[in-house]
């Protein structure tokens, strides 16, 4: 294993660096984790982060299986994935933009409940249909990773990417749901929803036009 690591050190560094910056790059996933952590609390944000990481595992799996090459060479298939993802983001954005302010002011200063399954499902679906993630894996496994790279190393790359995403989004959820920070956002929940919806709409439009 040590020999493999030494042999593919350049790829390991490249994949790790790209994975870290990709996870930190603001996008639909970041917006959803941020909004959920503020609106639904720490555990909802963590479960959403876990759901996103599970979908990253799916992206990594089909990339390792070679389907990334098929998708990269099938413009219609890639376009279908891109437009489906953009449509889903627009759907979420529309829901956020059309939410009405609660008449109960007491409720507006506290988090609302979201079941772990729902948070997990939303995180998984959002990342799974996110064209940015698909483009990321297409570029990693068709441009950075050699076709001669052993499967065990490709699996390791997938785990590195999953770990980078989980650490980043879990950190975001924990930070924004901290008792000293959360009350500040709770007083502005409706504004948070509007901003999140607007940003998601812009991301969806931009991705659909690429």
- Tens of pLDDT along 193-210? 677 778 778 877 776 676
pTM of the model: 0.74
Residue 114: its pLDDT value, please? 82
Task: Tell me if 82 sits within 8 A of 204, measured CB to CB.
Answer: no
Burial of 9 per CB tally in 10 Å (0-12, 13-18, 19+): exposed
Alpha-carbon distances, residue 136 vs 77, 160, 195 (angstroms): 16, 14, 25
What CA–CA distance (Å, rounded) separates 27 from 40? 19
Confidence of residue 104 (pLDDT cuts 50, 70, 90): very low
Confidence (pLDDT) at 52: 93
Question: Is 124 a residue whose pLDDT tops 90?
Answer: yes
Percent of the chain topping pLDDT 90 = 19
**Higher model confidence: residue 76 or residue 15?**
15
Question: Using 50, 70 and 90 to split pLDDT, how confident is the model at 100?
Answer: low
pLDDT of 110 strictly over 80? no
CA distances to 121, 131, 141, 154 from 61, in Å: 19, 16, 11, 9
Q: pLDDT tens digit string along 160-192?
A: 999 999 999 999 889 888 777 766 665 666 666
- Is the model's pLDDT at 102 over the cut of 50? no
From residue 121, alpha-carbon distances to 22, 53, 114, 160 in Å are 22, 11, 11, 22
Helices (H), strands (E): how many in the chain?
A: 11, 0
End-to-end Cα distance, the chain: 40
**Encoding tokens for residue 208?**
């659909």
What is the average pLDDT across 102-117? Answer: 59
The confidence score (pLDDT) of residue 178 equals: 79
What pLDDT score does 103 carry?
35
The more confident residue out of 138 and 123 is 123
Alpha-carbon span 117 to 13, nearest angstrom = 35
- Each residue's pLDDT tens digit, 24-80: 877 888 888 988 888 888 899 999 999 999 999 998 888 888 776 677 677 777 777
Question: Residue 138 pLDDT > 60, yes or no?
Answer: yes
Q: Report the pLDDT averaged over residues 140-158.
A: 83
């Amino acid at each position: 294993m040590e020999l493999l690591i030494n042999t593919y050190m350049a790829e390991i560094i490249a994949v790790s660096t790209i994975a870290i910056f990709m996870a930190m790059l603001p996008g639909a996933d970041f917006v959803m984790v941020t909004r959920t952590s503020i609106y639904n609390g720490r555990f909802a944000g963590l479960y959403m982060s876990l759901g996103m990481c599970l979908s990253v595992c799916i992206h990594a799996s089909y990339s390792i299986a070679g389907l990334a090459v098929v998708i990269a060479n099938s413009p219609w298939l890639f376009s279908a994935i891109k437009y489906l993802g953009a449509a889903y983001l627009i759907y979420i954005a529309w829901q956020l933009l059309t939410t009405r302010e609660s008449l109960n002011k007491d409720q507006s200063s506290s988090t609302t409940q979201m079941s772990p399954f729902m948070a997990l499902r939303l995180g998984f679906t959002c990342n799974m249909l996110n064209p940015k993630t698909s483009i990321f894996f297409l570029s990693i496994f068709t441009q950075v990773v050699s076709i001669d790279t052993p499967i065990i190393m490709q699996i390791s790359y997938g785990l590195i990417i999953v770990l980078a995403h989980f650490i980043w989004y879990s950190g975001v959820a924990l930070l924004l749901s901290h008792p000293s920070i959360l009350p500040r956002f709770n007083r502005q929940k409706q504004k948070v929803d509007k901003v999140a919806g607007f940003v998601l709409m812009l991301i969806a439009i931009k991705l659909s036009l690429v």
